[in-house]
């Protein structure tokens, strides 16, 4: 076709869609984590064609931004400060589980076996990313351990370099805390590393296998 | 640890987060196309922690829903009806490209070589999905071809079973149109099938290769 061979310079109006409002929506969606231009376009087209979905998204985003806050004691996501876990009479204040982010609380609560409380660091020490000890709430952690008379701190961080560094830093920090003479030393533990339940031995990575071997238990 | 062995029944409060508003946001995000529970959680947490991103999303969604409409003539996404392509003096009304969805217009406009107009079907014939000829705007297409005095219709549909069925249906429909005696018959074309420019022959699928061979051109 002759039309397809010559570029006759019909402008495409700058933006790709003939609608600045739709382009703006695509841009604001594609700035969200994990969304590229293609997924953002797909979402934007869905939102402008399904007004119920768009209204629900607008309302739920506005409502969540208004109501969601972080618990001043533990850092969990909540709508009441302090959160229900921190104020529950049924949770043992002497048992404190330290996690990196509020999302890390979810698997514990879903499983339902844990009867202690949490402390959210909100990040991990990472000199390369410029996260130093001053940037994390270690002061509030020490305060919490002291005030609540915590007996056991369970460190539940990722087993990455940053997670290990942060765990070691906290171990040093918390072991140096003065304790009342009538109480045992603060007990510090961490989650076990090993083969996941139901995990196929043939496909396990070497580091996990080595750790599982190193920490093998009596039968 | 003894705590980890007994399930002492601490309830997890129904929702996973301690925030119904956040749970609602996660649910409304995970109902959008291409987003699962995990990506929706990630997005929701980003939105509640970055209020600027949330405000921008709320505003741009509301604005897009208010301003975006479909061109009554061609079905393109636009903010003015009829759209700029349909009203442009520089676009040839005798050249009509038929696409399945408004997004299919984008690659043409981006490339900038096409100087005709478009017609968006909004779907493809698919008896299995219950899309029949009555569900697609073939009446408006025939009207448009007649009113604009279209000389060439370029069919640019996916080469799926539905695309082929729809293309054949339109070919029959448009060829039966009465034409003025002083004009040539309506010219109907479709996009070429073949090896993509820059495509590696070794990795091309069999059907494409067969089509490229079948429609080989003189050198």
pLDDT at B104 over 60: yes
* pLDDT per position as a tens digit, A21-50: 999 999 999 999 999 998 999 999 999 989
Report the pLDDT averaged over residues A98-127: 92
Which residue from A minimizes the CA distance to B95? Answer: A3
The pTM of the full predicted model, rounded to 2 decimals, is 0.74
Q: Which residues from A are below 8 Å from B151, CB to CB? A: none
Report the pLDDT averaged over residues B162-189: 89
Q: Which residues from B are below 8 Å from A5, CB to CB? A: 113
Average pLDDT, rounded, for chain B:
87
Q: Which of A9, A39, A60 sits opposite B28 (nearest CB)?
A: A60
* pLDDT per position as a tens digit, A149-179: 999 999 999 888 999 999 999 999 998 888 8
Give the pLDDT band of residue B218 (cuts 50, 70, 90). confident
Q: Which of B46, B88, B95 sits opposite A3 (nearest CB)?
A: B95
**Measured between alpha carbons, how far is A199 from A211 in angstroms, rounded to an integer?**
15
Q: Which residues from B are below 8 Å from A16, CB to CB? A: 106, 109-110
**DSSP per-residue letters across chain A:** -GGGTS-------SSSSB-HHHHHHHHHHHTSTT--HHHHHHHHHHHHH-HHHHHHHHHHHHHHHHH-EE-TTT--EESSSS-HHHH-TTSEEEEEEEESSGGGHHHHHHH----EEEEE-SS--BGGGTB-GGGTTHHHHHHHHHHTT--EEEE---SSHHHHHHHHHHHHHHHTS---TTSPPPEEEEPPPSPPTT--GGG--HHHHHHHHHT----
ipTM of the predicted assembly exceeds 0.85: no
Which residue from B minimizes the CA distance to A112? Answer: B10
Which residue from A minimizes the CA distance to B65? Answer: A48
| Contact between A155 and A173 (Cβ < 8 Å) | no
Helices (H), chain B: 20-30, 37-49, 51-67, 84-87, 105-111, 138-147, 161-175, 206-214
Q: Do B85 and A47 touch (CB under 8 A)?
A: no
Q: Which of B4, B58, B79 sits opposite A19 (nearest CB)?
A: B79
pLDDT at A5 over 60: no
Residue B11 is predicted with a pLDDT of 36
Residue B192 is predicted with a pLDDT of 86
* pLDDT per position as a tens digit, B3-43: 333 333 333 333 478 899 999 999 999 999 999 988 999 99
């Amino acid at each position: 076709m002759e039309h397809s061979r010559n570029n006759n310079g019909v402008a495409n109006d700058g933006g790709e869609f003939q609608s600045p409002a739709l382009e703006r929506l695509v841009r604001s969606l594609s700035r969200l984590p994990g969304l590229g231009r293609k997924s953002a376009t797909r979402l934007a087209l869905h939102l402008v064609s399904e007004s119920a979905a768009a209204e629900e998204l607008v309302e739920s985003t506005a409502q969540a931004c208004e109501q969601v806050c972080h618990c001043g004691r533990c850092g969990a996501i909540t709508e009441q400060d302090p959160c229900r876990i921190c104020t529950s009479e049924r949770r043992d204040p002497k048992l404190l589980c330290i996690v990196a982010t509020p999302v890390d609380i979810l698997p514990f609560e879903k499983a339902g076996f844990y009867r202690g409380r949490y402390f959210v660091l909100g990040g991990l020490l990472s000199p390369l990313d410029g996260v130093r000890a001053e940037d994390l709430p270690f002061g509030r952690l020490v305060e919490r351990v002291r005030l609540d008379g915590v007996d056991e701190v369970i460190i539940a961080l990722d087993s990455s370099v940053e997670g290990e560094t942060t765990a070691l830093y906290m171990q040093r920090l918390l072991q140096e805390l003065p304790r009342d003479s009538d109480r045992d030393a603060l007990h510090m533990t961490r989650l076990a590393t090993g083969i996941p339940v139901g995990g196929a031995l043939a496909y396990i990575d070497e580091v996990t296998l080595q750790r599982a071997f190193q920490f093998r238990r009596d039968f």
